[in-house]
Structure 1
Amino acid sequence: MNFLFPILMALVLMIAGCQLSPSEPKASGCVQCHQGLEQVSPSHHDCTQCHGGDPDTMDENIAHWSMYGPKNPSSPQYWERTCGSCHTYQLQRVQSSLMNTATGMIKNIQLTWEGEDGKLYASKPLKTYGADGTELVLEGVEKLDHLSGELYRKFCALCHVGIESNQSWSASHAAGCAACHFPYNDNATYQGGDRHLQGKWPYSETHAMQVLPENRVCFRCHNRSGRIAMSYEGQNDGNNSLVPTNQGYPGPELISGIRNATSIAPDIHHKRGLECIDCHTSRDIMGDGYAYENMYEQVEIRCEDCHGSADRKPAYAEVAREHSEAVRESQHYQRQVKMGDKMILTSKGRKYSNVFYEDGAVWLVSKRTGERHESKVITQTPEHTIAGHERLECYSCHSRSVAQCYGCHTQYDLREQGRDFIKGRNTPGAFSETEDYRTLYPFPLALNQHGRISPVTPGCQTFVTVVEADGSLSKDSYVSVYDGKQRLRFAPFFGHNIGSKAVSCEECHGNPAFAGFGQHVVEGNSITPTLLCEKSDRKPLDGFLTLEEGTLEAFSAITRENSRPLNAREIRRMWAVNQCLICHTDPKDPIYQKELDYRVLSRCLDRPAHARPASGSH
């Protein structure tokens, strides 16, 4: 007995240790029934702490009766009691982020369709704080009892993390935290090891948490509207509808909305192996705890952070505290941040958690794979210090393409029922939409909200038809009023399709489409549009400027504060450069480092033809 007692005690302790190990689920009705179910993560070992329910019974109905969900405890109606009970910091950020509130989207729909009413709205009512630290009350979008409120609730809301979307091929996602961290597969069915759940819908593909969301997660939502996830990966749904493109079958890839995705050149960052999360910080996506009115205010990254600007190299700061956010965030990366690391700073002065300054160079380290990518710094290079380009965004020259969808016809039919995803029920009024034309290149340029020249794309450029309950039309292809005028709208936009080679000088300075004239014919001192708006025989659908006998007219709005089309003086200067480009075709030519003297240029051009320098001479 003296010999057996230590052995028996050791066995008892081993068994107890197995049952209570923090890396294993407790032996309960949950795991006895759901054998083969993937463990969420080593730190998530108690089923009921996340899901609720009764683990002490084998009766399915009793066990599940008090569960949160029952499938998704991270859904917003539960997340304060579930995910947020441990992850308070992350929850407070996500609650106020645009990914959850959609305040910017609701604001801009309202602004372009009905006009502002002095209030800010969100997907759900929320008391939070603005970027200046003052308390901010966001009204629930269910209070917007007009067309733009209906449009958000019945059309836009399904893509945002507060609402589960489970009926869209390749675009379904859960609600709340699980939308990103427990991704669905293309048809939203479980494919893990639990035989009770195998093939069931709608469930995440497995029960294992994805700490670092992959690109496919982003694609689930960002394949519509601006289509930035598609552009980044080198895809375009174009105008082909379901025209077979792959041996008579839809493809190469069928995506949500019964669309074909065909191939275009991918973004250079994607081609070199960078994922969305490698550039975007968690604050871009999950927010920083403050509520913003527009996406560009929440997103903190800029090209210049890693590549520098014409006159300033990337800024960096040393990690001097063990509890620095960069250290904490990198704990799941292949390369963790440590004390003394020199971290590149975002445009808001915060440290990246995966971009380092080492040995005189800037290095981005992939969060998931640990692969190192050197970032080329362009500061003081001749092609980036061209006089007159000071206001250009990097992506004005380096965008390969910008998705542009023209002539969006939206019909709201009160004879039909439509699903209100915010209210959770069907109500009178169903939306449908069609488009006239879509293109990628060339893309128009205008001044954005920062006073810089950037690409713009149609922003709520909508012709609205409203069918009343009796079948009459209260609106028929109506162009809404914006800022006091009935007009179409464009918005500053970054298309996420960057190339190392820039748009050529000759294209940008010689093609009026880049200045905002759309498809056109040049006739003397006039530029005649060829893709005409159905409401006017003088205004192009795909542009916002016209030129008639030397007189410039801007007739569409650029829908961000301080944004506007280029004016006559700016366009004159833009086109004047063509006279230099005849001889000076290289952007590295030293003459472009000097401000253009238009008086000298005029004297040169006014000389008789026989007195002008031959082509190629200086």
Structure 2
Amino acid sequence: MKMKFMLLTALLLLPLAACREDQKPAVPAPPPTEPQKVAAQTLPLPPGCRGCHTDIQLDDQHDIACTDCHVGNNETNDKELAHKGLIAKPAAIENMTAVCGRCHAKQIEGCAQSTHFTLKNEVNQLRSHFGLKPVNTLTDIPERSGPPQDKEQLVDDLLRRRCLRCHVQTSGDRYPSVQRGTGCAACHLRTTEGKLESHAFSIPGERQCLSCHYGNRVGSDFAGLYEHDYGSDFRSPQTAATPYLRPYGVETHDLAQDIHRQRGLSCLDCHSGAELSGKQAAVHCADCHAPASGKVPPLKHVRAEDGQLILTARTSGKEHRIPKLQHPAHAQYSSKVDCQVCHAQWSFNDQGTHLLLSYSNENKPWRSLAVQGSAEVEAFLTEEDEPAMTDTLTGEKKPGIWLQGYSLRRWEDMIIRQDKDGMIKVFRPLLDLRLSAADANEQVIADLDNIAGNGDGLLPYTPHTTGPAGLFYEQRFLHLLEKQQAASLPASQPR
């Protein structure tokens, strides 16, 4: 029995012993040495821009050679040769006419003349308030060196260094959600914290719009954003994190969003490119909600179908049936009262804006107001930088820094008045300003102390906070209608 077991074992082991050398199980190769890794990494790249820039994403309309816009050399993989003559930012303000204008000449010409580009309405609104002559474009604002010596120089310095931080000549402040490209790229390319996301050009979305329309300006209200007070005791969340990133420079209250935004619409669903370039008048509420019989508003994405207007959202592609005005109050008051007097949920009511141009290094009295929507001011008040601020039209940093504060920041009670055209409208204290200037010794410069403009600074405003009117909508304006009626009565008739 023992002999049989040994014989069986030998027969089982015989095939294994007879295996040829090349039939033996493979042994894993040792990992490559460092020289072998380097050799693999330095293999020649294919020639052309895409050989190195493998992650570039283009849209269908711009799927062209990189050198068509960036110039350079697309026939080599040598970095120095490939980048010779390179235009790094072809859509930027200094290059857009020569590069983008080759294919989009009409659009470039239209944008360059539009008030959205020149900002002449905003600039002249402020200059006129302080009794100064109008200019044709923001770049015509006079530039002067040294501290201002009169009111005009003070106002112009305010415009160039504090107010105009949102035009297409500048890439925005150093906060994540307000950094962007310049020129065409400001609106048509998406960036994240100042870095380009892709090369895909698109219609401006909310992110691009809010990179300029933030900080208690029209656009912020559409998204339901209202800045906190500047004082450190009135901002939340309270945090010890360093650095603590504020997307728009100042923390915001989350208030009621405009009902159009709640339904999925964006800025360009009402404000077309033709309007923004000055080729078409602005669309009003009644153009969509109470159009004349058979009339369609001048928006390409709105059509009539079976007596109903239908809007196709430009960003989502979703179709929306536009409701018609049915309440009898619209027929009763529409010629006397603006829509938002009843339908605005809240409005900006920043009263008493105080602005001081200071050349002093002393910042202790202002440290509790370090957060005021300007990275340069924040650095001066927290990091003890020199009192200096950038001229956004030239990019040059100059001595003197604009500090800002408010007497009151509220949104609850809207200011409702009768405008010059007789219509009752919502107003806001947009030009309720007080300007001052002080030298390095904290002494007032040339009597530039607490300078106010003409009037009370209240301007008619359209709050982008549309919602249901509510039960007591008439209480907002009936007292003004009664005054109108009393004023129209004959002198002999009792009032």
Q: TM-score range by the shorter chain?
A: 0.7 to 0.9
Residue 507 of structure 1 pairs with residue 481 of structure 2: no
1:16-55 aligned within 5 A? 28-55=47-74
- Aligned-pair Cα RMSD in Å: 3.3
**Matches for 1:185-264 after TM superposition, within 5 Å:** 185=192, 187-188=193-194, 203-209=195-201, 211-226=202-217, 228-239=218-229, 245=236, 254-257=246-249, 259-264=250-255
Residue type of the alignment partner of 2:222: Y
Shift of 1:104: 0.9
Structure 1 match to 2:285: 303
Contact 2:433/2:453 (<8 A) preserved: no
What secondary structure sits across from 1:218 in the alignment?
Answer: helix
Matched position secondary structure for 1:353:
coil
Which deviates the most, 414-423 or 149-158? Answer: 414-423
Query: SS where residue 405 of structure 1 aligns?
Result: strand
Structure 1 distance, partners of 2:341, 2:175, is 34
* 2:442 equivalent to 1:468: no
Deviation of the 1:315 alpha carbon: 5.6
**Residue number in structure 2 paired with 1:266:** 257
- Is this contact kept in 2: 1:255–1:261, CA < 8 A? no
The reply on whether 1:458 has 2:429 as its aligned counterpart is yes
- Please name the residue that 2:104 is paired with: 87
CA deviations on 1:493-530 (whole Å, 9 max, x unpaired) are 111000022472453157x8xx6xxxxxxxxxxxxxxx
Does residue 267 of structure 2 align to residue 353 of structure 1? no
Deviations 1:368-394 (A, max 9, x none): 222121112226x412122x6522111
Gap regions ≥5 residues in structure 1: 1-26, 125-138, 189-202, 289-297, 317-343, 346-350, 516-565, 574-594, 603-618
1:313 aligns with 2:284: no
2:118–2:137 Cα contact (<8 Å) kept = yes
Aligned partner of residue 64 in structure 2, secondary structure:
coil
1:435 is displaced (CA, Å) by 1.2
Runs of 4+ displaced beyond 4 Å: 240-250, 599-602
Match of 1:390 in 2: 335
Give the one of 116, 127, 143 matched to 2:132. 116
Q: 1:373 maps to which residue?
A: 320
Letter of the 1:237 counterpart:
E
Residue 248 of structure 1: how far off its partner (Å): 6.1
**Residue pair 1:233, 1:266 contacting (<8 A) in 2 also:** yes
Query: CA separation in 2, counterparts of 1:230 and 1:314?
Result: 34
TM-score when scaled to structure 2?
0.75
Deviation at 1:62, TM superposition (A): 3.8
CA 1:492/1:61 → structure 2, altered by over 3 Å: closer, same or farther? farther
Amino acid at match of 2:476: C
Q: Which residue matches 1:488?
A: 456
Amino acid at match of 1:390: S
The answer to whether the 8 Å contact 1:465/1:478 transfers is: yes
Q: In structure 2, give the amino acid aligned to 1:120.
A: V
- Given that 2:354 and 2:404 are in contact with CA atoms closer than 8 Å, whether structure 1 keeps it comes out as yes
SS in 2 for 1:32: helix
TM-score where L is the length of structure 1:
0.61
Mark the CA change 1:505 to 1:213 in structure 2 (over 3 Å): closer, same or farther.
closer
Aligned-partner SS, 1:352: coil
Quick one: distance in 2 between partners of 1:355 and 1:370?
A: 12
Q: Could you say which residue in structure 1 is the equivalent of 2:9?
A: none
Aligned to 1:147: 154
Partner of 1:56: 75
Native 8 Å contact 1:99 1:285 kept in 2: yes
2: distance between equivalents of 1:509 and 1:352?
A: 32
User: 1:363: which partner in 2?
Assistant: 310
* Offset of residue 208 of structure 1: 2.2
The residue type paired with residue 350 of structure 2 is C
> Residue 196 of structure 1 aligns with which residue?
none
Q: 1:171 to 1:372 in 2, by over 3 A?
A: same
Question: How far apart are the structure 1 equivalents of 2:116 and 2:230?
Answer: 30
Show the 5 A alignment for 1:390-469: 390-415=335-360, 416-448=387-419, 450-469=421-440
Would you say how many aligned residue pairs link Structure 1 and Structure 2? 414
Any idea what the Cα deviations from partners look like across 1:546-566, whole Å, max 9, x if unmatched?
xxxxxxxxxxxxxxxxxxxx9
Kindly state the Cα deviation for residue 247 of structure 1 after the two structures are TM-superposed: 9.0
* Residue 154 of structure 2 corresponds to residue 162 of structure 1: no
**Residue deviations 1:65-102 (CA, integer Å, cap 9, x gap):** 4222x2x2111211111111100111011101122211
Matches of 1:32 and 1:367, distance apart in 2:
35
Q: List per-residue Cα deviations over 1:239-286 (Å, max 9, x = no partner).
A: 375656569689x994322x2222212111111111111111112223
Larger proportion of strand: 1
Name the CA distance, whole Å, in 2 between partners of 1:502 and 1:45: 54
Partner of residue 579, structure 1 = none
Computing the radius of gyration from Cα coordinates, the structure with the larger value is: 2
The 2-side partners of 1:447 and 1:509 are apart by 9
User: The residue matched to 2:116 in structure 1 has which SS?
Assistant: helix
TM-superposed CA distance for 1:424, in Å, is 2.1
Distance of 2:206 and 2:265 partners within structure 1 = 10
